[in-house]
Amino acid sequence: MARIRLSGERIRGELVRKIEELSGQNLLACNQCGKCSAGCPAAAVMDLLPNQVIRYAQFGLEEVLAANSIWVCAACQTCYARCPHGVDLPRVMEALRVIALEQQGDRLRPQELDPQKVAELPQLAVVGGFRKFTMMGG
């Protein structure tokens, strides 16, 4: 009987390829040790812990694009500093945000904001918000 051989590239899906391309990370470098999640200051309000985000990404599960974790992540770099395998998780989170924005559209719409309230915000918060929640900053 002929044996079917599949290359890793063919087994792994389009989403996995795109996440790795945008983030510059090898998702399979993660062995799910959990050190990232144990040190993440935002883990308590995430629906998927950082190591789970990586797990979903490793399998190319589209559900990861609906997780609040990718928006809650503050890019504080703690997980990256703790990772024994050098996985730059904040860059993976950023890649997931870019893909989610491409698929779902901007999460922040200027026309829906109260100009009065925007005027009261620190400029850094406004610029940071648009960079993170719209394709403008992508």
Please report, as residue ranges, which positions from 41 to 70 form the binding site for ligand SF4 (by CB under 6 A): 41-42, 50-51, 54
CB nearer to ligand SF4: pick between 66 and 118: 66
DSSP state of 6: -
* Residue 85 engages ligand SF4 in binding (rule: CB under 6 A): yes
Q: Does 136 bind ligand SF4 (CB under 6 A)?
A: no
Distance, CA of 138 to CA of 16 (rounded, Å): 19
Q: What's the one-letter identity of residue 19?
A: I
- Look up residue 35 and give its two tokens: 């050190």
Closest contact distance (angstroms) between CB of 81 and ligand SF4 is: 9
- Residues with Cβ within 8 Å of 3's Cβ and at least 6 positions away in sequence, in order, are none
37, 125, 17: which is closest to 80 by C-alpha? Answer: 37
The nearest distance, CB 2 to ligand SF4, in angstroms, is 37
Residues 62 and 15 sit within 8 Å (Cβ to Cβ): yes
Exactly one of 87, 95, 98, 101 binds ligand SF4 (CB under 6 A); that residue is 87
Which parts of this chain interact with ligand SF4 (CB under 6 A)? 30-36, 40-42, 50-51, 54, 73-79, 82-83, 85, 87, 89-90, 93
